[in-house]
Every structure is written in structure tokens, then in C-alpha cells.
Structure 1
């Protein structure tokens, strides 16, 4: 796409997004139009499309922002195409998908903005999206889904569990990536999770799951998962990964279960002979939220290139914390614990202009931390995070 077409697509999308409910309306219209054109696809999706609409909005915003960054956009689209095979979408469905997206945006764009030239720009954009997704979906080296068995379910907090799954066949993924899972209790409902360990010969994945209030899948993952359950898992996605440049220093910022993709990378790096200096800030609302601190302590003690700084917003655990043993923040290899909001604390160290930066956590935490860093002088180009969380 040329710069003029890219600008028109962005302008239209931002105009729609200016209405707080605009992106959600576009997503709702997209699925309504798609299922009207291809009614057989409806059975592959859950009864409630709230999560799918939210993901579509995030993915579309990410794509529009990177139309002039092919090195970032094209791999993301190829991964998205591989991931969507889990829904049963085949090459014959892509024209309907593309037409549905254009129709949905056109429906909610202001009439004066939607010209013939804008329509052509969106057609070019959607053609790029669908063509690249289709190429990714046709990757014959990867199955549409993997299957695996739960071999461990450990309740760490009232609303947090560590789950280990052994795959029936190997999966190639990069430490730091994420994938979606489907559990028996929530058929056709897929939830994105990040493995907390790198690929291994045993074919085991470890997931850290926090139950989200009002969520459909995460509470079931935490409270109703049993050893022996059979899961389905989709193709890996994401742009986070172990840095190849061993000279460029790395800053990692993780909050809650967002530590999982960062920990996977650190474990993978610990197997290498040479690594850059890494400073990891791990945060939580309360000390008990730093549930993985002992593992991080062991990594820091064994690897002198790693610095770990814990951060909590409150020095006290909440009243409902069921563990009678107080959470220790004073472990070997760790910096003294800091108190405050993680974005403000990290930005208080300076602009980190000499670092590659990865942020992982809830969407609000990622955006707040990113804005804090940029306000402190951090170049936006240095900061990476995944778009689907």
C-alpha cells in the first residue's frame, strides 16, 4: 500500500474509533454480516461473541497502526492465519471475511469520509490482510491444532493456578510467544495463554492462569481443571522472543501472570553461553501476587547477567489471602522490593534509552507503563509488547 492509501485507512478507522463504542459496533457488524454470508461458520464460534469481538478490535487496531511497517505486520498476519484454522476457516471463506470487514467499517464510518477512493484503499488493505493470512494458514508443516493432557494443576492463590500440559506431538514455538487453548468445560471458547517455559524434549507446557471476574474461560481454568483433562491448543503467535543481539541490554517489565512469557525467555537464555545484561521488574498489587519469585530468585543467583527487582503497590497481603505463610520478598539474588505502581517506579529510573524493552501484563498495565516510559524519554521504537493481551 502507498502512503496515501495507508493514511486514508488510518483516518477512517480513527474516525470510527473516536466514538467509544465505534470499534465494538464494527466488530459486531462484522460477525453479523459474515454469518449471514457464511452461516455454516457460526457453529465454530461460541454462543457469546464478546471475547471474539474484543480480539478483532485489538487485531484490527494493531494492523492499521502497522500498515507501513511490513516487517512487523506481515509475520503477525501470517501467524493470525495459522491461528484461525482452529475455527475451521478455509481458503474458500476468506473472500467473505474480507467483504464482511469492509462492509462493517463502511456501515459505521461517517458518510462524508467514505468516498470511492477510501473504499479502494480499504479494499487494498483487506486484500493484503486476507492474502497474507491465507499464506500463513496454508503452512503445511503445522497442524491446525495440537492436543494435550493436563498432568498438573496447582492452585497458587484463590484466583491463580499453575497448569502443566503434556502435548501428544511436539510444538515449535519461541520462548515468549503465546497460543490459545480450548478446555472441555468451555467448548469453542479459546483463551490466549503464554507458556512459562521454553520448548523442551518432554513436550510439556506450563501456563499461569488468573481467573478474571466475569470471564467465561479463566475461572474454569483456575477452579475446574483436573489432571487428565484433554486440551486443544492452536498455533503459537507473538513477537516477543529471546534477543539475538547479546550486546544490547534488555529491560523486562512483567505484572501478575504477565511474568510467564518473560520467565520462559529467561530460562531459555540461561541455557546459552552469552547473554546481554537483563533487568527484570516484576510487579503485583500485593506480595502474594509475586507468586513466582522463588524461581526468579534461583535464576538471578545462577545468572549474574540478570537483575530482578520486585515491586508491590501494597506491602500487605489482602485479607482473603488463604496462605498462612507470609510471602517473603527478601530472597537471594533479588534487589530490595520497591513500593508503588510498576510503570511509575520503572520510569523513575530514567529513560532506559540504551535498552530493548518488553512489557507483559494486562492491557491497562501495558499501556500505562508504555506511556510512563515514553514520558520519561524512552524511544517508542525500543518498546515491544504483544497486541492480543
Structure 2
């Protein structure tokens, strides 16, 4: 994540210092003021919450720091500042909080942190605008799907669900997901199947967190979409990152022109691998797909043309010859794939695309 450099002696320096201290008192005060003004807003937060989420503090810090120099001259808010704010506005539509109230919330935030609220209100009005335009364009704020199957497969739980209409996302992206009855608690999950007109979904979880019959609310897709742009692709799946990678592979099957794909499925040991029937079937049936399973500890996988190599995953993917001349796509939880990205960049790889299955709205931090 890119870092901003706040101006040490600017008009917002004191507020930025307070926000940078990660003091829960600020978050608690903001929570109290917002819920006092909008009692119904309590339903947006997890049950029992007493603080606003950190993303509100991060967005405030980012906006104040990024506009500190230009604001003194009365300049427009930089486009680079508005882009993540617009994305956040679209993401917030899933909560049901009215965008028309964003400017009023900005006034509350400015009052709590002790700054002139003009720039925050202007930023909030831009967020209101893009949210309203999405409403007017008929873009669904959220979708609802019902869980139809939950099954444990090795180290993962495979969850299948169906929505009444197509769900908007692209292969490699993640969706914010909230289970009915779990107020304000959102997960980020990557669909394991490409988008389809039937609204069929598949997610891979680390635990049995849902049951058949549960309803799921799905927000706007996050993260980059994977589109082949080179003749060869190195597609790395770490843990349940296989969900995002699986969506990419099945999406490529439907393409007329596709790259040669080297799929590397990584785990800590053989027990971490799951959905082996699908992986073996793909390996044996798709001539353009080469599959390698990688783990530091040896194990058995049954009969398949997929190779197994017993080394640390990051060492394998960053080795000479593995990634050269390839489009590189990493799929997995952000913290898990960070090691792989660092190893690849240290080896000289550039232009790496990360599909974080736990993708969240983030702002650059100081």
C-alpha cells in the first residue's frame, strides 16, 4: 500500500497526529456521535460495537493529508485522492446507510478531530455523487444468495450458494459477504467459479461458518480482475486462494484464445491441499494447463499428471525459469501471499498481480 507523507506544519498537522496514534478514544467518540445523530446506524456496525471501523479513520487521515497543501490554495481535491474515496462509496452501498448523509457525517468527523470540515464535506459530496449515480444506473447495492451445500474437503469447507440473479464480479475478485443474523460482520470471499447468469456461487472457507439454508448478503466486488495479457501465465494459489485461481482457470476454459498456464498450488504440507479431484481432472484434460503442487513436507496425492515438489512455495515460484516471461498472478489471503510477492520481487519480477481473497477497502497510511 502506497504511503502518504503528511505536511508536518500544515493546518491539519495536529489532527493527523491524533489520527495516527490509533487511539480507540477517537473511534469511540465518532461511534457515539454518529449513532446519536443516526440511531438506525447502529445496525450498520457489528452487534455490541462501541467504535467505528478503522477504515473511517484511515479515510479521514488520507483525505486530510493528501489535500493539506492544495487546500490552503483553494485548489480542487486531487483526482488521486478521489479515486479510492469513490471506490469506498460504492463499497458502502451494501450497508444501506444513505449516501445523502455522507456530508453530515463528514461534519461530525471534522468536529471530533478538530479540523475545518470543508475538505471533508467536499470529499463526502463526491462520494454521495458516485453512489447516487450507481443507484440511478440500476446497479444493485447488494445481492442475496442462499446456501445450498456445505461440505468439508480436506483442510477447507466448500460452500455453494445460489442467488436469484447474476452476481457482478470478475474472476480473481473477492466479494464482501455477510451471513443473515450476523449483523455488521462482513467477510471477504473469492468466488471459485466465474460469473454466470444463473447466480451460482462457490466459496472456500477455513471453517464451517455457514449452514445450508443460510442467506448471504453480497456487496460490490473488490480487487483486480484477472485478464490474460501474455502468452504465458504463472498462477499461484496459496491455501484457500485456490478459490480465486479456480475461477480464473475455469474462466480461461471458456476463452477461444488462452495462455499457457502454470498453476502452482501451495500449502504447508500435503494435508493443506483440497479439491484434488477437480485439480487432477483439470491437469489431465487441459493441455494448456500445467499443475504443480508445492509444499515443504512430502505427502501423497494419488494418480495424476500433476507434479509435486517438496520445497517452500515462495522459493519455488521465485526460482530462475519459473516466472520468466510469465504474467504473474498470486491468489490467497493478503498476509499469506505477501511472502511470495516479496520473494518474486527480490528475484527481479515486476508487474505482479495480487488477488487477495480477503481484500478490504484500504487507504494509504502514514
Which TM-score band (shorter chain)?
0.7 to 0.9
How far residue 279 of structure 1 moved from its aligned partner, in angstroms, is: 1.9
Moved more, 138-147 or 123-132: 123-132
The structural deviation recorded for 1:312 is 1.7
Alignment gaps of 5+ in structure 2: 68-76, 362-366
Name the structure with the higher helix share.
1
Taking the aligned partners of 1:145 and 1:85, their CA distance within structure 2 comes to 7
Residues 88/152 of structure 1: CA separation in 2 closer, same or farther (3 Å cut): same
Q: How far apart are the structure 1 equivalents of 2:106 and 2:334?
A: 27
Partner in structure 1 of residue 304 of structure 2: 332
The correspondence of residues 103-142 of structure 1 with structure 2, limited to 5 A, is: 106=113, 123=120, 126-127=123-124, 130=127, 134=131, 137-138=134-135, 140-142=137-139
CA distance in 1, matches of 2:297, 2:78: 40
CA distance in 2, matches of 1:96, 1:252: 45
1:47-105 Cα offsets, whole Å, 9 max, x none, are: 2559973666788899999999969983x65554333222111122211343455567x
- CA pair 199-351 structure 1, distance change in 2 beyond 3 A: closer
Distance 2:65 2:337 in 1: 17
Matches for 1:235-254 after TM superposition, within 5 Å: 235-243=220-228, 245=229, 247-254=230-237
Instruction: Tell me if 1:98 matches 2:112.
Output: no
TM-score in terms of structure 1 length? 0.72
SS of 1:352 mapped into structure 2: coil
CA contact (8 A) 1:182 1:188 kept: yes
Superposed displacement of residue 269, structure 1: 0.4
Q: How high is the TM-score relative to the length of structure 2?
A: 0.76
Contact conserved, 2:99 with 2:128, CA < 8 A, in 1? no
Decide whether the 8 Å contact of 2:103 with 2:125 is kept in 1. no
Aligned equivalent of 1:53: 53
Is 1:199 the counterpart of 2:188 in the alignment?
no
Match of 1:220 among 209, 226, 237: 209
Note closer, same or farther for the CA distance 1:36–1:167 as it changes in structure 2 (3 Å cut).
Answer: same
1:166 aligned onto 2:138: no
- Three-state SS of the structure 2 residue aligned to 1:162 is strand
Structure 1 residue matching 2:308: 3-state secondary structure = coil
Counterpart selection for 1:150 from 147, 150, 153: 147
Residue 103 to residue 334, structure 1, CA distance change in 2 (3 Å): farther
User: What are the residue-to-residue correspondences of 1:1-389 with 2, within 5 Å?
Assistant: 7-8=5-6, 22=22, 30-49=30-49, 53=53, 74=83, 77-99=85-107, 106=113, 123=120, 126-127=123-124, 130=127, 134=131, 137-138=134-135, 140-157=137-154, 160-211=156-207, 219-221=208-210, 225-226=211-212, 228-243=213-228, 245=229, 247-315=230-298, 328-340=300-312, 342-349=313-320, 352=323, 354-379=325-350, 381-386=351-356, 387-388=359-360
Counterparts of 1:179 and 1:297, CA distance in 2 = 27
Change (3 A) 1:344 1:18: farther
Aligned to 1:325: none
CA contact (8 A) 2:165 2:198 kept: no
CA distance in 2, matches of 1:125, 1:354: 45
Three-state SS of the structure 2 residue aligned to 1:374 is helix
Q: Give aligned pairs, total.
A: 343
* Gap change, CA 1:36 and 1:202, over 3 Å in 2: same
Q: Distance in 2 between matches of 1:286 and 1:361?
A: 16
SS at match of 1:336: strand
Question: Residues 63 and 265 of structure 1: is their aligned pair in 2 closer, same or farther, counting only changes over 3 Å?
Answer: farther
CA distance in 2, matches of 1:313, 1:48: 42
- 1:28 and 1:274 map into 2 onto residues whose CA distance is 53
Question: Any idea what the Cα deviations from partners look like across 1:191-215, whole Å, max 9, x if unmatched?
Answer: 221110012343210111113xxxx
Over 3 Å counting, the alpha-carbon distance change for 1:64 and 1:294 in structure 2 is: farther
Unaligned runs of 5+ in 1: 1-5, 108-113, 212-218, 317-327
| Separation (CA, whole Å) in 1 of partners of 2:353 and 2:120 | 31
